[in-house]
Chain A
Amino acid sequence: MEFPMSEWLENHLPKIVLAPSFIAVLVFVYGFIGWTAWVSFTRSKLLPKYEIKGFIQYEKLFASPRWDTAFENLFVFGALFIIIAMVVGLLLAIMLDQQIRTEGLIRTIYLYPMALSMIVTGTAWKWILNPGLGLEATIKGWGYNDFSFDWIVNSEMAIYTIVLAAVWQSSGFVMALFLAGLRSVDGEIIKAAQVDGIPTWRIYTAIIIPSMAPIFLSAFIVLSHLAIKSFDLVIALTGGGPGYSTDLPATYMYAMAFSRGDIGQAASSAMIMMLVVFTIVVPYLYSELRTKNDG
Chain B
Amino acid sequence: MADLSFDQTQQSKFGKTTLRIILYVLLTLFALYYLLPLFVMVTTSLKSLEEIRTGSLIALPREITFDAWKIAWASACTGIQCEGLRPYFWNSVLLAVPAVLLSTLLGALNGYVVAQWRFRGANLIFSLMLFGCFIPFQVVLLPMARLLGLMGIAGTIPGLIFVHVIYGIGFTTLFFRNYYVTIPSELVKAAKVDGANFLRIFWSIFLPLSLPIIVVTVIWQFTQIWNDFLFGVSFSQAGTQPVTVALNNIVNSTTGVKEYNVDMAAAIIAALPTLLVYVVAGKYFIRGLTAGSVKG
A/B touching: CB–CB < 8 A: yes
Is the CB of B136 closer than 8 A to any CB of chain A? yes
Report the nearest A residue to B40, measured CB to CB: A128
Is the CB of A242 closer than 8 A to any CB of chain B? no
- Write the B253-271 contact mask toward A (1 if CB under 8 angstroms, else 0): 0000000100110111011
Is the CB of B183 closer than 8 A to any CB of chain A? no
Is the CB of B252 closer than 8 A to any CB of chain A? yes
Whether the pair A257, B282 counts as a contact (CB closer than 8 A) is: no
Whether the pair A21, B30 counts as a contact (CB closer than 8 A) is: no
Q: CA A219 – CA B290 in complex, angstroms?
A: 10
Whether the pair B131, A254 counts as a contact (CB closer than 8 A) is: no
Whether the pair B139, A124 counts as a contact (CB closer than 8 A) is: no
Is the CB of B170 closer than 8 A to any CB of chain A? yes
Residue from B37, B139, B247 in contact with A33 in the complex, judged by beta carbons closer than 8 Å: B139
- Given known A25-B129, A35-B142, A273-B139, contact A111–B169 (CB-CB < 8 A): no
Whether the pair A14, B57 counts as a contact (CB closer than 8 A) is: no
Report the nearest A residue to B53, measured CB to CB: A133
Q: A residues within 8 A CB of B80?
A: none
Residue from B53, B141, B198, B286 in contact with A270 in the complex, judged by beta carbons closer than 8 Å: B141
- Write the A33-51 contact mask toward B (1 if CB under 8 angstroms, else 0): 1011001000000001000
Is the CB of B123 closer than 8 A to any CB of chain A? yes
Q: A residues within 8 A CB of B38?
A: 112, 124
Q: CA A203 – CA B226 in complex, angstroms?
A: 42
- Given known A180-B290, A183-B1, contact A115–B137 (CB-CB < 8 A): no
Q: CA A219 – CA B56 in complex, angstroms?
A: 38
Q: A residues within 8 A CB of B267?
A: 119-120, 123-124
Secondary structure class of chain A's binding surface, majority of residues: helix
Q: A residues within 8 A CB of B140?
A: 28-29, 32-33, 36
Interface-lining segment among A75-83, A152-160, A222-230: A222-230
Interface-lining segment among B63-71, B105-113, B152-160, B206-214: B105-113
Whether the pair B223, A95 counts as a contact (CB closer than 8 A) is: no
Residue from B52, B56, B144, B229 in contact with A32 in the complex, judged by beta carbons closer than 8 Å: B144
Whether the pair B136, A236 counts as a contact (CB closer than 8 A) is: no
**Which residues B184-233 have CB closer than 8 A to chain A?**
197-199, 223, 226-230, 233
- Given known A128-B36, A128-B40, A177-B294, contact A133–B260 (CB-CB < 8 A): yes
| A56 vs chain B, min Cβ distance (A) | 17
Residue from B52, B173, B230, B289 in contact with A176 in the complex, judged by beta carbons closer than 8 Å: B289
Interface centre among A21, A99, A126, A250 (most CB of B within 10 A): A21
Is the CB of A61 closer than 8 A to any CB of chain B? no
Whether the pair B274, A117 counts as a contact (CB closer than 8 A) is: yes
Interface residues on B, range: 35 or more
Whether the pair B27, A115 counts as a contact (CB closer than 8 A) is: no
Q: A residues within 8 A CB of B110?
A: 17-18, 21
- Given known A24-B166, A111-B282, A172-B34, contact A235–B125 (CB-CB < 8 A): no
Whether the pair A281, B57 counts as a contact (CB closer than 8 A) is: no
Whether the pair B293, A221 counts as a contact (CB closer than 8 A) is: yes
Residue from A17, A115, A191, A228 in contact with B136 in the complex, judged by beta carbons closer than 8 Å: A228
| A80 vs chain B, min Cβ distance (A) | 17
Q: B residues within 8 A CB of A18?
A: 109-110, 113-114, 122, 125
**Which residues A156-212 have CB closer than 8 A to chain B?**
168, 172-173, 176-177, 180, 182-185, 187-188, 190-191, 194, 199-200, 203
Q: B residues within 8 A CB of A128?
A: 36-37, 40, 57
- Given known A26-B128, A110-B31, A200-B6, contact A120–B270 (CB-CB < 8 A): yes
Whether the pair A21, B169 counts as a contact (CB closer than 8 A) is: yes
| B236 vs chain A, min Cβ distance (A) | 12
- Additional A-B contact list (9), CB under 8 Å, known A22-B129, A115-B285, A254-B233: A13-B199, A18-B113, A26-B128, A29-B167, A32-B139, A36-B139, A128-B40, A222-B292, A257-B234
- 11 residue pairs of the A-B complex, CB under 8 angstroms, read A10-B198, A25-B129, A88-B30, A95-B27, A109-B34, A111-B286, A117-B229, A123-B247, A235-B233, A254-B230, A281-B134
- Sort A-B residue pairs by CB-CB distance and give the 4 closest, nearest first: A117-B227, A14-B117, A115-B278, A232-B229
